[in-house]
A and B are shown apart, each in its own frame.
Chain A
Amino acid sequence: MAAAKNRSRIGMGCLTAFLSLFVIVFGGFGGWGVYQQFRVRGFAPVEGVVTHSVVGASRGDDGTTYYPDIRFRYTVDGKTYDSGEYRIQQISSSGRRGKARIVRQYPVGKKVPAWYDPGDPDTAVIDRSFSFFPVIFFAIGVVVLGVIVLIWVGHVRGWTWGHRSGGASGGMYGTGDAARGTEVRLKPFGNLAGQVHTFKGMLFFTVVWNGFIWTIAAFLWFSNEDSIPIFAKVVVGLFMAVGVGLAFSTIKMGLARMKLEAPEVTVSVQPLRVGEPFDVSFRQRAKGPVHVQHVTAKLICREFATYRRGTDTTTVTHDVHEQEAVVVQEVAASSIQPIQGSASLAIPADGMHSFHAARNRIVWLLEVQTAVDDWPDYRTTFELQVAPERVLSGVAV
């Protein structure tokens, strides 16, 4: 047990070290770039004369990248400097044509408006417009840092991540070779093909999404840059709206967990068979006195289909069967008086068994919802295993 704990800690340490590299590289590079872009905001105007203007090339393993190699001469307090550059942080990238266009705008001998650093007159630039490259790099660093924090918080609090399913597995294609058990306690359904079903999964996704988009939005706001196209602002606005929606849903899920503990759900038998009726037993502790309006158990057969278009992978879902039963109604509960009840459901006789292929899945789910007065509902989803065996006349064969 202690050895397993040590192995877990070593694994966490390795993961943290690996992710920290991303934080240092992306956060450092992006952060420095962002700092430099804000620094040029304080530069003073000066007139310069272009002394050198060519397309510079950097040759690397991945090919050649280009940058506008422009220098200019300017005078500050009677002293002449030749150290003027096009931008404060020159980023070399593919696409020679765009850089050639910039170079054509600044021929040698042309007088250009420029900006110099009053604290360090040796530094001057022609272009001080805001670039999003460093912001995106910085946002990636911030998100990875958030992920590290979340992983450690989860580790300390004993969270588990990823897909878990209750009872014995029905096999990859539901071949029905798993041993049947009675009174099987179900575990919450985790994530499947990008579909988030748990509070922790939702929290993780919300932190990553909002960390990324709000970092970009903050720089967009503080940059006061007029050259940012309205389209970019609208797109960022839409992504922010999604982030707010995600945060709202996560807060609702979190609030629901403030008054109620995680429910314990058991099924009378698992794996189930096609056409088989079964009982669901429910028990949930409250953290204080609450009035429960109702607890419902919904049996869902959900199809998951994953497809690739170009570089995007998309998963769509469709519920082909739903059956709902009321577990309890209008009861009072407290920390010493848990909510308890049971309901009867059945896998339909013309239904499909559980099917798990790489890109196509048919999953039987049990969605349990506890509704209390003036408070968000507590929802938990569990996976049921349905074997490819049939029950005739409601009697297990």
Chain B
Amino acid sequence: MATPRVQIELDAGPWSEPEYADYRVLGEPISGKVLITSDEPLTCRSVTVTVGWHTEGRGDRDEHAVWESQVHEGEIPAGAIEFPFRTELPGGPMSYAGHYVNVLWEVTARIDLAWKRDPTAQRRMHAVLP
């Protein structure tokens, strides 16, 4: 069985310039969709979307999921299917690139398959202050 393809697409942010396509404002809504493409029906328990931040750099990893939601439960038919999601970012922390500490925001989608490795997809974004 071929592994299903998972993608995350974010709806347009407040800026139209292509270099700011991944920029989102803290405290404001964020929305998008999870696209799943499969050649055959998937025996799936659930599709989960998580929005959260984690640290990278010299220190051990800190992470925090600010929002998690099951956008689908049950079998997924063959072909391309999309599951929309929408939430609001909290007030902080903002994305940060420092010397020893980096704070990175990410949207993660995970398909929970029975007795198989769960396919996942990540989409990085920059969370900025309003």
Of B70-78, B85-93, B114-122, the stretch lying at the interface with chain A is B85-93
B29 contacts the other chain (CB 8 A): no
Q: Interface size bucket, A side?
A: 20 to 34
Of all chain B residues, which has the CB nearest A355? B93
- Residues on the A chain within 8 Å of B98, using CB: 303, 318, 320, 352, 362
**Alpha-carbon distance between A374 and B58 when the two chains are bound, in angstroms:** 41
- Interface residue ranges of B1-45 to A (CB < 8 Å): 26
A358 contacts the other chain (CB 8 A): yes
Pairwise interchain contact A359-B91, C-beta atoms closer than 8 A: no
Pairwise interchain contact A388-B129, C-beta atoms closer than 8 A: yes
Of all chain B residues, which has the CB nearest A352? B96
B103 contacts the other chain (CB 8 A): yes
Count of chain B residues with a beta carbon within 8 Å of a chain A beta carbon: 22
Pairwise interchain contact B92-A353, C-beta atoms closer than 8 A: yes
A305-B101 in contact given A173-B92, A359-B62, A360-B57 (Cβ < 8 Å): yes
A332 contacts the other chain (CB 8 A): no
Pairwise interchain contact A305-B91, C-beta atoms closer than 8 A: no
- Residues on the B chain within 8 Å of A308, using CB: 60
**Alpha-carbon distance between A306 and B64 when the two chains are bound, in angstroms:** 17
A174 contacts the other chain (CB 8 A): yes
**Alpha-carbon distance between A148 and B123 when the two chains are bound, in angstroms:** 54
Q: Total contacts A to B, CB within 8 angstroms?
A: 84
Pairwise interchain contact B96-A362, C-beta atoms closer than 8 A: yes
A interface footprint on B61-84 (CB within 8 Å = 1, 0 otherwise): 110100000000000000000000
Closest chain B CB from A61 CB (angstroms): 33
- Residues on the B chain within 8 Å of A317, using CB: 100
Pairwise interchain contact A305-B94, C-beta atoms closer than 8 A: no
**Alpha-carbon distance between A316 and B96 when the two chains are bound, in angstroms:** 18
Closest chain B CB from A394 CB (angstroms): 15
- Interface residue ranges of A347-385 to B (CB < 8 Å): 352-353, 355, 357-362
Of all chain A residues, which has the CB nearest B56? A360
**Alpha-carbon distance between A308 and B62 when the two chains are bound, in angstroms:** 13
Pairwise interchain contact A388-B26, C-beta atoms closer than 8 A: yes
Closest chain B CB from A194 CB (angstroms): 13
The interface of chain A, by Cβ under 8 A from chain B, is 171, 173-177, 274, 303-308, 316-318, 320, 352-353, 355, 357-362, 387-390
Ranked 8 nearest A-B pairs via Cβ = A305-B59, A388-B92, A357-B62, A305-B100, A305-B58, A318-B99, A390-B129, A360-B55
Closest chain B CB from A75 CB (angstroms): 65
Partner pick for B59 among A171, A352, A353, A359, CB 8 A cutoff: A359
Pairwise interchain contact A353-B60, C-beta atoms closer than 8 A: no
Pairwise interchain contact B55-A359, C-beta atoms closer than 8 A: yes
Pairwise interchain contact A307-B90, C-beta atoms closer than 8 A: no
Pairwise interchain contact A353-B62, C-beta atoms closer than 8 A: no
Of all chain B residues, which has the CB nearest A172? B64
Pairwise interchain contact B92-A306, C-beta atoms closer than 8 A: no
Of all chain B residues, which has the CB nearest A301? B98
- Residues on the A chain within 8 Å of B59, using CB: 304-307, 316, 359-360
**Alpha-carbon distance between A358 and B64 when the two chains are bound, in angstroms:** 11
Closest chain A CB from B20 CB (angstroms): 16
**Alpha-carbon distance between A283 and B62 when the two chains are bound, in angstroms:** 39
Closest chain A CB from B64 CB (angstroms): 7
Closest chain B CB from A395 CB (angstroms): 15
**Alpha-carbon distance between A175 and B130 when the two chains are bound, in angstroms:** 13
Of all chain B residues, which has the CB nearest A171? B92
**Alpha-carbon distance between A358 and B62 when the two chains are bound, in angstroms:** 7
- Residues on the A chain within 8 Å of B129, using CB: 274, 353, 388-390
